């Protein structure tokens, strides 16, 4: 039994109407730790346990850390998560609820990650949030579920941070003979590491990560994500923070599910009737979820926009 659950795949009358094409949702927001990340991270943790790991380490103050904490509790291994001081109180609380040891260190992820790296013992497994083939293989299971459910989508919409979800979805499409199905890869303007790399024709580092989609905040995408974007039909789209936040509000009203702006970014394509969707007859949106933002936080972000 894997640690993740098989999630519902439902048609959305709300997003279909907004987008003017049939929209299907894969509800990864319903994974126990609140995001798709459990698929890959759960699989990776199980594999590391088989190989003899005695502790899981993470430096993610976001959904990856939450997934590692959940996996560790389920597998009865201790988990240590080193997070920067910028991590929300809510996230630290959620990590504690999963019985993880939380070390708050440094003013940015870089410093937290350095400390975490310095703590690695021979019997520890350090779980990367996106750049690991074990993760991609685990994420691919969500496409296995879509493929066995029936009709083929004619495009998949997903959000891109470091590109782990993108790698997993493309791996899943390929292993289900759906290698022709295009992926629409969505980022916010302040986190557009894939978009900028595609424009430059090579992987580039963002100078800074800005805006509200904190879970998309990787300074550079992993190499495999860039490589896939050359070999698989991948279309890159950038949305504003405003659109991502508005999508969170509308999705909550429509489907009664609260997701992070990282996920709202994808949903915004439907709510804004994006040109990328024109002519499609069955679009699959990966509702990647995210547990780190409260409704108050989302509204405060929206109120703070210029």
Instruction: Give min distance, CB of 187 to ligand PLP, in A.
Output: 9
37 scored as a contact of ligand PLP (CB under 6 A): yes
Instruction: Give min distance, CB of 165 to ligand PLP, in A.
Output: 4
Q: Tokens 């590692």 label which residue?
A: 68
Choice from 22, 33, 72, 163 touching ligand PLP (CB under 6 A): 163
Q: Which one, 152 or 206, has the nearer CB to ligand PLP?
A: 206
Task: Give the footprint of ligand PLP on residues 70-129 (CB under 6 A).
Answer: none
Please give the Cα distance from 37 to 58 (Å, whole number).
13
Binding segment for ligand PLP (CB under 6 A), chosen from 12-20, 161-169, 172-180, 297-305, is 161-169
165 scored as a contact of ligand PLP (CB under 6 A): yes
Instruction: Put the strands of the sheet holding 155-159 in their side by side order.
Output: 9-11, 23-26, 283-286, 155-159, 183-188, 234-239
Q: Which one, 22 or 161, has the nearer CB to ligand PLP?
A: 161
Choice from 153, 162, 172, 211 touching ligand PLP (CB under 6 A): 162
Nearest to 69 by CA among 142, 1, 3: 3
69 scored as a contact of ligand PLP (CB under 6 A): no
Nearest to 90 by CA among 305, 264, 260, 249: 260
Instruction: Give min distance, CB of 66 to ligand PLP, in A.
Output: 9
Residues 6+ apart with CB under 8 A from 296: none
45 scored as a contact of ligand PLP (CB under 6 A): no
Please give the Cα distance from 212 to 256 (Å, whole number).
21
* Phi (first) and psi of residue 124, to 5 degrees: -95, 150
Strand partners, 188: 239
Where helices occur in 59-160 by DSSP H, the ranges are: 63-75, 89-97, 109-118, 133-139, 141-149
Q: Say how far residue 135 (Cα) sits from the centre of its chain.
A: 12
Instruction: Give min distance, CB of 38 to ligand PLP, in A.
Output: 10
63 scored as a contact of ligand PLP (CB under 6 A): yes
Residues 210-239, one symbol each (x = binds ligand PLP by CB under 6 A, - = not), give: -----xx-x---------------------
Q: Which one, 22 or 35, has the nearer CB to ligand PLP?
A: 35
Q: Is the dihedral of CA 82, 188, 45, 8 positive or negative?
A: positive
Where do contacts with ligand PLP occur on this chain (CB under 6 A)?
A: 35, 37, 62-63, 130, 159-166, 215-216, 218, 260, 262-263, 288-290
């Amino acid at each position: 039994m894997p640690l993740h659950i098989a999630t519902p795949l439902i048609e959305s009358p709300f997003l279909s109407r907004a987008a003017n094409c049939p929209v299907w949702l894969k509800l990864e927001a319903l994974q126990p730790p609140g995001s798709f990340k459990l698929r890959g991270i759960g699989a990776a943790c199980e594999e590391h346990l088989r190989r003899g790991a005695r502790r899981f380490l993470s430096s993610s103050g976001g959904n990856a850390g939450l997934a590692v904490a959940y996996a560790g509790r389920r597998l009865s291994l201790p988990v240590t998560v080193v997070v920067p001081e910028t991590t929300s109180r809510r996230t630290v609380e959620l990590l504690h609820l999963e019985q993880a040891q939380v070390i708050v260190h440094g003013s940015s992820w870089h410093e937290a990650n350095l400390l975490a790296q310095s703590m690695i013992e021979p019997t520890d497994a350090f779980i990367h949030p996106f750049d690991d083939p074990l993760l991609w293989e685990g994420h691919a299971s969500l496409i296995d579920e879509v493929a066995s459910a029936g009709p083929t989508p004619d495009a998949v919409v997903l959000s891109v941070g470091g590109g782990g979800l993108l790698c997993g979805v493309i791996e899943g499409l390929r292993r289900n003979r759906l290698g022709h199905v295009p992926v629409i890869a969505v980022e916010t303007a302040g986190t557009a590491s894939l978009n900028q790399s595609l424009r430059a024709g090579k992987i580039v580092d963002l100078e800074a990560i800005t805006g509200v989609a904190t879970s998309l905040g990787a300074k550079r995408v992993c190499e495999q994500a860039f490589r896939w974007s050359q070999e698989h039909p991948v279309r890159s789209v950038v949305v504003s923070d405003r659109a991502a936040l508005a999508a969170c509000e509308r999705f909550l009203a429509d489907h009664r599910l609260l997701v992070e702006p990282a996920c709202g970014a994808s949903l915004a394509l439907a709510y804004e009737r994006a040109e990328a969707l024109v002519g499609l007859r069955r679009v699959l949106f990966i509702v990647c979820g995210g547990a780190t933002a409260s409704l108050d936080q989302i509204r405060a972000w929206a109120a703070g926009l210029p």
